[in-house]
Structure 1
Amino acid sequence: MLMRYGDVRKATADTTHFSSKAGQISVRDGSPVAEKVRQIYAAEGWLPVHSLVNNDPPDHGRFRAFVDKAFLPRHVRAIEPYIRATAEELCRSMPDGVAFDLIPGFSLRLPLMVISHELGVPASDLDRWNAWAMILLEQMNPDLAPERELELTHQVCEMQQYLARRIAEVRAAPGTNLLTHLVLAADEGQMTMAELLSVIQMLVPAGHETTANAISAGVRRLAETPDLQAKLRANPSRIPAYCEEVLRLDAPIQGLFRRAVSDTEIDGCPIWAGNTVVLSWGAANRDPDKFPDPSRLDLERRNANQHLSFGAGAHFCVGNQLARAEMRIAFETMLATFRSIQIAPDIGVASAPHFFAFGHSTLGVIVER
């Protein structure tokens, strides 16, 4: 496990010695039930392939090039009015002065509605979509029991069939959303169905679960610090800086796996070919050599946006601009709508255990207009 900022950033960008094909995410090569998993995919869906997070250059570049087309900055700017309108609608539905859990109705709902809208998922299917995202996130657990992996594989195939129907609809009647951009880009690049589905499967949990965790972390910090609320209400231009500090301190994904492809070393520590290496972005974000007084939220921190919560190098998160926009608009809207945001002690705050995902399962708040 690498924890220091310099070591983590170097290894993240070093595709010569460290491969993202670690056999842990989506394509679980080392699983004891790998053959049974392949049989299920062959019969019910499409076998996932190495695409984005779990791929290396130069093949990674082929996938990244067509995904980049779908995440152009102008497209993110174009959907900001939808994000803001959705955030405002969700805030209007919050009870005034009554304790409630913020996560299902706001932290999760906002990015879930945005990514679902962009992937052509109707409102009636949002709960199914969220369940599939949780399944894909659960597959990242290195301690996943073989029986559970087989159960999840059947459910992933169900999601694949659902997406295949959506893709067919887009080809018949293209729109302007993210799914249309992905499908058209894939068709131009002669992407197979298995490859296209693998890319979309990477975007499903990344498209809302991680952003939901970041929004919850930011709202919790606001609720616990009235002075910070006042400061940001008085100067909303500091909210982007606040987003960066929240991402640094509460990275929604605390790290990822790499596999050493040859014998190497880091600062005298030998790493042998085939070893699994954990890149701890969460620890690197609190390295005092990079971020002085690292546990303090500092709106004036000059290098806050150099955190590793979106990765680095070739694998820098393709959806970072969308996530930042959703966070910024969520905080702007809540601060503009409510004069007070507090933690609700009767409900409290709880975290969900996961090897990499870092976020709240419950966030009790009381808001006052």
Structure 2
Amino acid sequence: MGEALRVDPTSFEFRHNSIAMYQRLLREQPVCELENGSVLLCRHADVSRALTDLDAFRRPYEWSMANKPEGPFREFGRNNMIAMNPPDNTRYRRAMARAFAPRRIAQMTTDIQTTCDMLIDRMAETSECDFIRDFALPLPVAIICQMLGIPIEDQHHFAEWSATILAGMEISSSATEKAAAETATTALFDYLAAIAETRRKDAGDDLISTLVEAADAEKLRRDEVVWGAITLLIAGHETTTHLLGNGMLALIRNPDQMQLLRARPDLTQNAVEEFLRYDPSVYVLFREAATDVTFDSVPISKGTLLVLSLAAANRDPLVFTDPDRLDITRPNAKAHLSFGAGFHLCLGQAVARVEARIAFETLLRRVGSIGLIHEPTPRDGLMFKGNHTMPVSYRMAA
């Protein structure tokens, strides 16, 4: 495989400067053997192939289990649809697809707009805020909790629980972070199990009721209904939070694009796709070679763990012209792989797109200017990217 680059994606240096490393890998070694024997794929075509060829590439179920202690946190890994292969994945997807029917998504637009306006009304009471804490996080938390039928007075628990679980899922997570994830998973499971039991007796028009009603048809166990709800809750707000945060940060750092989007709100949907391409919430996914395969004349043995860099694929110059530049008019921005691809395309991608479109349309209409007070505090991980804090100052539009 050649020796040019020695790469450790779990290292501090890589995690905190990954875009620069991906740029170099795309130029010099897009198929890169890592020190632990796994292989990092960076090119758009290679990552897309690994995501869509279900016969040659599988989700690394046993590997993901080996990195978790016994208990509810490990069980979430076992029963998390995102980590499953068919046929179990197929059962879950059929049940959850009912929750994301176009009719239901269309009904959500009023709730999204109302929540956006409420959060911006609060912002208008001052001239500074933490954009993550005060907008990018509470918006998707409120929306997914409304979709699941979770009482508003309980919503404050979920951001902390899900953030703790995701920190434990990072391949660089410590024993302490895994233990905290175990505690959070237990609390979240018990809470949602109680709600699911209530919905069995008195169903409503919410996603947990939908999962409960779909359980018999799709042969989901009672605990699987709860694991499905947990997957929806975590995936339904964490990635959207960082889509909003990363997108706003990209605009602040590219004021010409901010000015263009203010002048051309009709570009908002394409701008959302460009934000997803430019700085995705999920930087890497994992697959396992189900058979012997070859990438770029490099032989890869069956059973090899593959690290798929969505962030690198989204900046592949073979697909995107001037890929390191934010361009909200980019004609093929939607060719990004930030939601995965093929059979495993993210089920909630339509909701995330609607939330982000409405959020940026509303923010740029109501907030006249916005800038950083100081640099954001970034997440410390390989898989999930975004910022814990993002202090901004602003003035409201006249």
- Answer whether TM exceeds 0.5 for this pair: yes
Extract unaligned runs of 5+ from structure 1.
Answer: none
Instruction: Say whether 1:61 aligns with 2:100.
Output: no
> C-alpha distance in 2, partners of 1:341/1:48?
39
> C-alpha distance in 1, partners of 2:173/2:371?
37
Residue 29 of structure 1 aligns with which residue?
A: 65
Comparing 279-288 with 224-233, which one deviates more in the overlay?
Answer: 224-233
1:140 pairs with 149, 169, 179, which one?
A: 169
Secondary structure at the residue paired with 1:100? strand
Residue 356 of structure 1 aligns with which residue?
A: 383
Question: Would the alpha carbon gap of residues 105 and 59 (structure 1) be closer, same or farther in structure 2, given more than 3 Å must change?
Answer: same
| Count of residues in correspondence between the two structures | 357
Secondary structure at the residue paired with 2:286? strand
Query: How far apart are 1:278 and its partner, in Å?
Result: 0.6
> C-alpha distance in 1, partners of 2:205/2:234?
22
Residue 127 of structure 1 aligns with which residue?
A: 156
Instruction: Say whether 1:274 aligns with 2:310.
Output: no
- Any idea what the Cα deviations from partners look like across 1:312-338, whole Å, max 9, x if unmatched? 011100000000011111101111111
Aligned counterparts, 1:157-236, within 5 A? 157-236=186-265
> C-alpha distance in 2, partners of 1:29/1:46?
9
- Any idea what the Cα deviations from partners look like across 1:132-155, whole Å, max 9, x if unmatched? 211221232123344543442233
Residue 312 of structure 1 aligns with which residue?
A: 341
Secondary structure at the residue paired with 2:315? coil
Query: How far apart are 1:248 and its partner, in Å?
Result: 0.2
Aligned counterparts, 1:278-317, within 5 A? 278-317=307-346
1:6 pairs with 34, 45, 50, which one?
A: 45
Secondary structure at the residue paired with 2:215? helix
Secondary structure at the residue paired with 1:339? strand
> C-alpha distance in 2, partners of 1:22/1:265?
22
Extract unaligned runs of 5+ from structure 2.
Answer: 1-39
Please tell me the root mean square deviation across aligned C-alpha atoms, in Å.
2.1
Output the TM-score relative to the length of structure 2: 0.84
Letter of the structure 2 residue corresponding to residue 29 of structure 1:
M
> C-alpha distance in 1, partners of 2:255/2:289?
47
Letter of the structure 2 residue corresponding to residue 10 of structure 1:
R
Query: How far apart are 1:96 and its partner, in Å?
Result: 5.7
Instruction: Say whether 1:83 aligns with 2:112.
Output: yes
Query: How far apart are 1:300 and its partner, in Å?
Result: 2.6
> C-alpha distance in 1, partners of 2:373/2:183?
39
Residues 45 and 160 in structure 1, CA contact (< 8 A), matched pair in contact too: no
Output the TM-score relative to the length of structure 1: 0.90
Question: Would the alpha carbon gap of residues 365 and 67 (structure 1) be closer, same or farther in structure 2, given more than 3 Å must change?
Answer: same
Secondary structure at the residue paired with 1:57? coil
> C-alpha distance in 2, partners of 1:175/1:50?
24
Letter of the structure 1 residue corresponding to residue 295 of structure 2:
I
Identity among equivalent positions (%) equals 33
Question: Would the alpha carbon gap of residues 230 and 239 (structure 1) be closer, same or farther in structure 2, given more than 3 Å must change?
Answer: same
Secondary structure at the residue paired with 2:291? coil
Secondary structure at the residue paired with 2:390? strand
Comparing 91-100 with 303-312, which one deviates more in the overlay?
Answer: 91-100
2:103 pairs with 71, 74, 88, which one?
A: 74
Secondary structure at the residue paired with 1:367? strand
> C-alpha distance in 2, partners of 1:107/1:305?
22
Query: How far apart are 1:275 and its partner, in Å?
Result: 1.8
- Any idea what the Cα deviations from partners look like across 1:330-361, whole Å, max 9, x if unmatched? 1011111112122224xx32211112101011
Instruction: Say whether 1:323 aligns with 2:352.
Output: yes
Query: How far apart are 1:368 and its partner, in Å?
Result: 1.0
> C-alpha distance in 2, partners of 1:248/1:69?
28
Q: Which has the higher contact order (CA 8 A, sep 6+)?
A: 1
> C-alpha distance in 1, partners of 2:254/2:174?
41
Secondary structure at the residue paired with 1:176? coil
Residues 65 and 74 in structure 2, CA contact (< 8 A), matched pair in contact too: no
> C-alpha distance in 2, partners of 1:357/1:337?
30
Residues 21 and 258 in structure 1, CA contact (< 8 A), matched pair in contact too: yes
> C-alpha distance in 2, partners of 1:275/1:228?
42
Secondary structure at the residue paired with 1:139? helix
